[in-house]
Structure 1
Amino acid sequence: MADGVTSPTVPTPGFFHLDLYNKNQQDVPLSYGELKRRMKVEKGPMESAMISLLSIFEFHKIRGKGEARKLLEALTAEEDKNNLLEDLTKKDENNLNAIANKQFIYGQLMRARDEMACRDRLQELLAEKSDAATARNARCFAEQGYALVFVREDNKSTFGKKISEAISRFEKALDLVRDTEMVTEEERLVWKYYMGKCYARSKVGGQDQVPLAQRLLIEVTKMNPVWKHGGFYIARAWAQLGDLESKCRENCESYKSPDYLLQELPLTEESHIGLEFGCYKKALEISPNDSGFRWQCGRSYMRMGKYEEAQQMLDKSIEMMPDSTSNWFAYHLRYDLAMQEYNQLVLANQSRKGGPLPSKQLLQKAKEDAVLSCDGALTPTNIYHIGKVCHRLAVHPVTGKVENMDELGDALDNFTMALQLEDGFANPKIHAARGLSLQVAGEHDKAAESYKRAVENDDATYTGNLAGVLRNLLELYRSDRREHYIAELAFWINEGYKRYPNIKQALQGSVFKFGNQMIQVCQYLIDHDKSVLAKICLECFERHNNLRYRSTAATVRRRLPDHHDTSSTQSKSNVHVNLPVAVEKPRHGQEFQYDFFVSHSSKDADWVDYALLPALEGEHRFKGCVADRDFALGRYVSDNIVHSIKNSYKTLLILTPNFVT
């Protein structure tokens, strides 16, 4: 790849330096297959980008470097001797990204002469000053934008950044060719189509970029239909506009459709339901055999609660393209539709307070579609959905009690597999779903741990996962009465107080179901100088339907010091508890001063001090050593650590993400 190129008008060619999503072998088959299918139907300006991206996927396969090299050589050669790209409509021997990718692969294959030849050719092309060179640079930017757009949305943490990078590259490409005729209007509109798709999936400063996306896509619908590739992009632009209409009508209270859509779409029955259906009709008129437009229309019907119409559209899409690999999302939507219908039937039964329960036949159909969807796209989210439907099949629809342990076992298996795949471990929904399945299975210790992972990975607005942590710890304390559970409950209430604007919603359910245990938690909070949190918990008892608990809570509340006020005397960051008193004698006292020493990140100090120590010292009477309590004053930290390790029977190393950051 070219080195040292930093000019905003001169790109750094190639895809290997981009932060692409697919960089390991388990990602490759899905992305490779999806791109191959796209290449069969999409011809024109982005063919070179697709071949370069295909070479990246080939490269990451086992023994795939040679095939990647051959693809790029075929793209940039005057003659494709092996007919590797026989469907290619146009060769591109000066394609900057292809040459840069080829240079990188030659280097990996230790073909130094070929690598240097590519480097020299790149430097020659990048140094050229002409309209043709400007167009070539612009195409390089646009192709890189295309590669970045080719991203699945499972990886939420980096998805927004990559979409923003893609937009930036398309903007550079369009800006470069603003004053040249070396790039046709049709090719520019193709770039605008992909940039519109990026804006449709993007948020800047928390704001949807729908107006920008609509403006760009509307431009694409005005593309010259006579151009041989025009119909493909015009149809897809209409379908994308339909998706945006559907989303905006669902999520925006004061949404106003673009005037262009009101003018262009005839007043058909579909348009009266919603303009999005007029958009889909336009797309289907241009490309009637496209199964994707059918499931897009079906999804819009689902958003409106028109399940019968949605079912018809999804069935038609799958009938047209039954292959789950090519049409996996249609199967996913049909699964989701069955789950929504089942949930509605359950709610209707509860509102009637009796009557026949909904049949689980709907769930069986949902499971079949979820499995087919996963066969087509093995992602953490798709495996998670199999787990969800297995859980619903396992439990009673109203009471939530286990009826089928085999299905519950399948649910837990799928949640575990989802966590192990790609970035599944960072998905709080998967942790929470696994926690619920473990909870109904009676494995409350494991359920609490799953909900803790969900809290750690979730945003600071949803308190449901914190409620799951408290609920399962309270179940453990009710059945076992070990004091360290109370200490751990106090720790997580404190964590919730620091993390969420209002934790009363999370506490309320625990107060109503575990009144006696929560009174003891409040007592513990007061005894450990945590009156702020005790006051919040006790306030939740004011709405309790049991007079005894309300009276007890009022009595405990009167013990709170008058000067403790949640709004003025203590900030959230300053709320603390006293450290546990150290055990006097170690159980291995003949040889060691301590039974254990805890090495941990400072960010994990609260958990160590108020959850781990009470469990090991209070319950098992081990004598521990922790920095906050036991390090000698005036001694270097490193010396304290060495001394503690030497004088402890065991060293506990707390390995969390905080330990290495």
Structure 2
Amino acid sequence: MSSNSCHLTWKSLQQYAQDTKKLELDLPHIEEHYNETLTFLTMRYGNLRGFMLFNLDQSREAEKSFRKVLEVDPSNLNAIGNLVVLYEEQFMYAKAREMHAKLKALLKEGGNNGEARQARATAEQAFAIQWFEQDKRDFGHLAYFEEAARRSEYALPEERLAWKFQCGLAVYRLYLQFLQAKATEENILFTRCKALAYFNDAIQVYEKHRPDNSRDAALCWVFIGIIVLDTEESERHDLFNSSQVAETTPKECFDTALSLSRTPYVVRRIGEQLGRPEMKEYARALEMLDEALEQNPRRCGWFCHDRKGIIYLQMFKHKTSLEGHSPDTMLQESLKNFRKAVQFKKTYTDFDCIGQIQLELGDYQSAIAAFRQAVNHGIDDRCDPGLTHRLWAKCLEELDEFEGAEEQHFTARIVEQKLAQSMPGQPIPGLDTLRPLSAFRQVEKPRNKQGYKYDFFVSYSSKDDDWVVGVLVKTLEEKHGFKGLVHDRDFQVGKSIIDNISYGIDQSFKTILVLSENFLRSNWCRYEMQQVHLRAMKGRGDHVIAILYKPCEVPDDIAHLTYLPCKTDGQLGPDGWRRLEDALTDSDER
């Protein structure tokens, strides 16, 4: 296989290449763009379409797609590279060598044209990653857009405008996540100013060169207006000074945007903002969303119905009056629009909102069904999963299902902690997160010789997650090769916590108790400890390992155990790790 860089070899796309179901769902949407006239800005859809078709075993159609890109841009590095890979996969070595020679010659060429080609290739990679990351909490595409923007001096003005706009959009989404996570003011201000600066840079490109993509310039004005609207009036002067953007108001920004472009993409964004409680222009907001919907129902259907659902729900919650609507009809209109939205695209947030409305209407079982659909679709960058589980718990409480409600409250705490850990910790573009449990999967086979599925089950408080996950589990699995069962990662969805705990203890050679005050205050940790104690009475007492992570009063149930003490800095030390490994490899049958 060739080592050239292209869609068919990028590691950043390999995880998506295997998901043929998603590729099949996404392909029709790509086809819409592909069937339009391809330009330097839109030929990315040709390469992305080819990538999808190639991984769906439709190589002939993939080849046509890459060839169509070359009709627009004969020196497109990605299209040529993709053809090299495609021909090699088909053992068509003569054609592969021909394409490879062409690629090699282009890569050797320096100067302005060479720099523009490299920037274009990088931007295409950003767009491809962005396609698969849309609605998610990921920002893998941002670094590529920033690299393309950095190298864009000799690219076409419309490309420079588009890439800077995409940088601003990604940083703006990052800023929203900082807000949701209640991050430090420093982080919030940094991302807010950086997004504003990117949008302003894009507008400067437009005003200097007047390229055809006025829509992107208009959207830059829209997002500048949004950021200003997000900022307290008393803080706006400092915001403009920090980002070197001329002072303006949200209304001025939106009016400027509409003067540049009244495409549905611009109209719908402004309609969304007018429907915010701060603006209170609900009637006009709904009119603009309907206007965008009428202009392009296919591409604006999900967005407009989703935002109309949000506006009606906000009006209900804020007890806002609107001519012709009672509180009940507002709820019904909101429900109707969210149901229409999920017909276009199924998202966590829309199902979650449907659940909230059903809860307000007292239809608890329908609400639970909607919340379940939400969590089954994976979180997006607008949702509050902790709240979802708490509302799910509220429904269960209304139905006298108190055991299930407790489990949902427990899940909410876990989700909220993991969500907090997933937020960026430094004011840099991209996510700088703690390593998630899913990132270090356990080994395939356990080391124990007694036939247990796992070498250890770890019982701990979620408040001690940093050390347990980041140090204990990571070291045992990655360094020593033990196979662990950890509730945040391995508990089975749909099975009760009690059943999951019993399964974890019964299927593990050893149970590790991580003792601390947090552990003792947790009802679930105490339940796990009681289960371990019961099994000890049945002859499995030697299967328990206690680690005193932080000083606490050891309960009588396990006071007889010899425990491994951590040092004051929360470390086991070399002797502690040796003793722990010895305990986990103990093969004596007792």
Same fold (TM over 0.5): yes
Q: Is the 8 A contact 1:55 1:67 kept in 2?
A: yes
Q: What is the total number of aligned residue pairs between the two structures?
A: 459
State whether residues 616 and 622 of structure 1, in contact with CA within 8 Å, keep that contact through their aligned partners in structure 2: no
Q: From the superposition, tell whether residues 39 and 233 of structure 1 become closer, same or farther in structure 2 (CA, over 3 Å).
A: farther
- The 5 Å alignment of 1:218-257 reads 218-225=203-210, 227=211, 229-248=212-231
How far apart are the structure 2 equivalents of 1:440 and 1:251?
44
For residues 453 and 276 of structure 1, do their structure 2 counterparts lie closer, same or farther at Cα, with a shift above 3 Å needed? Answer: same
Query: Is residue 276 of structure 2 the alignment partner of residue 308 of structure 1?
Result: no
Give me the whole-angstrom Cα distance separating, in 2, the residues matched to 1:632 and 1:111.
65
In the alignment, is the contact (CA less than 8 A) between 2:7 and 2:48 conserved in 1? no
* 1:192 aligned partner: 164
What is the CA–CA distance in structure 2 between the aligned matches of 1:250 and 1:213, rounded to whole Å? 22
Where does residue 431 of structure 1 map in the other structure? 389
Look up the match of 1:419.
Answer: 375
| Deviation for aligned residue 1:296 | 1.3
Call closer, same or farther: CA 1:427–1:68 in 2, change over 3 Å. farther
Match of 1:378, SS? Answer: coil
| Contact 1:190–1:220 (CA under 8 A) maintained in structure 2 | no
Q: Does 1:627 align with 2:531?
A: no
Q: Hey, what's the Cα distance between the residues in 2 that align with 1:253 and 1:39?
A: 42
Question: Which letter maps to 1:70?
Answer: K
CA contact (8 A) 1:141 1:170 kept: no
Amino acid at match of 1:613: M
Query: Per-residue deviation at 1:366?
Result: 1.1
SS of residue paired to 1:442: coil
SS, match of residue 74 in structure 2: coil
Q: Given the alignment of the two structures, is residue 335 of structure 1 paired with residue 304 of structure 2, yes or no?
A: no
TM-score where L is the length of structure 2: 0.65
CA distance in 2, matches of 1:645, 1:417: 47
Amino acid in the other structure paired with 1:341: M
Shift of 1:335: 0.6
Distance in 2 (alpha carbons) for counterparts of 1:374 and 1:200: 25
Point out which structure has higher relative CO (alpha carbons under 8 A, 6+ apart): 2
* Structure-to-structure mapping, 1:422-461, within 5 angstroms: 422=378, 427-459=385-417
Match runs of 1:94-243 below 5 Å: 94-108=75-89, 111=92, 114-150=95-131, 152-156=133-137, 159-171=138-150, 173-174=151-152, 178=153, 183-203=155-175, 207-208=190-191, 209-225=194-210, 227=211, 229-243=212-226
> Does the 8 Å contact 1:314/1:330 carry over to 2?
yes
Taking a change above 3 Å as real, the CA distance of residues 40 and 340 of structure 1, as seen in their structure-2 partners, is farther
The verdict on how the C-alpha distance between 1:186 and 1:334 changes in structure 2, with shifts beyond 3 A counting, is closer
Q: Name the structure 2 match of 1:93.
A: 74
Shift of 1:205: 5.1
Q: Which residue of 2 aligns with 1:45?
A: 40
Structure 2 residue ranges without an equivalent (≥5): 176-185, 421-458, 467-504, 547-557, 565-574
| Residue pair 2:164, 2:198 contacting (<8 A) in 1 also | no
Q: Which has the larger radius of gyration?
A: 1
- Paired residues for 1:241-320 under 5 Å: 241-248=224-231, 275-288=249-262, 290-303=263-276, 304-306=278-280, 307-320=282-295
| 1:337 Cα deviation from its structure 2 partner | 0.9
Q: How far off its partner does 1:282 sit? A: 3.0
Q: Offset of 1:361 from its aligned partner?
A: 2.5
**Alpha-carbon distance in 2 for matches of 1:437, 1:616:** 32
Once the two structures are superposed, the pairs formed by residues 643-654 of structure 1 within 5 Å of their partners are 646-647=589-590
Partner Cα separation in structure 1 for residue 305 and residue 165 of structure 2: 26
% same residue: 18
AA aligned to 2:403 is: D
Match of 2:360 in 1: 392
Contact 2:168 2:198 in 1 (8 A): yes
- Note the alpha carbon deviations across 1:103-135, whole angstroms, 9 max, x for none: 334455565554454444433332334443333
Offset at 1:437? 2.9
Structure 1 unmatched runs, 5+: 6-11, 79-90, 264-273, 349-356, 396-403, 463-490, 500-594, 648-661
Q: Cα 1:223–1:65, aligned 2, differ >3 Å: closer, same or farther?
A: farther
Measure, in 2, the Cα distance between the counterparts of 1:642 and 1:376: 54
Q: Secondary structure at the match of 1:627?
A: strand
Quick one: distance in 2 between partners of 1:427 and 1:107? 45
The residue that corresponds to 2:20 in the other structure is 25
Q: Which amino acid aligns with 1:336?
A: I
Check 1:36–1:443 CA distance in 2 against 1; reply closer, same or farther (3 A cut).
same
- In the alignment, the residues of structure 2 paired with residue 43 and residue 278 of structure 1 have an alpha-carbon distance, to the nearest angstrom, of 34
Contact kept in structure 1, 2:306 and 2:337, CA below 8 Å:
yes
Moved more, 67-76 or 35-44: 35-44
Normalised to the residue count of structure 1, the TM-score between the two structures is 0.59
Amino acid at match of 1:299: E
Structure 1: distance between partners of 2:312 and 2:87: 51
2:336 is the alignment partner of 1:368: yes
Q: What does the per-residue CA deviation read over 1:219-268, in whole Å, with 9 as the maximum and x for residues that have no partner? A: 1440444x5x24344333333433333334589565655899869xxxxx
Q: 1:186 to 1:620 in 2, by over 3 A?
A: closer
Cα displacement (A) at 1:370: 0.8
Distance between the aligned counterparts of 1:277 and 1:322, measured in 2? 26
Q: 1:454 to 1:334 in 2, by over 3 A?
A: same
Match among 351, 359, 363 for residue 383 of structure 1: 351
- The alpha-carbon distance between structure 1 residues 244 and 387, as it changes in their structure 2 partners (threshold 3 A), is same
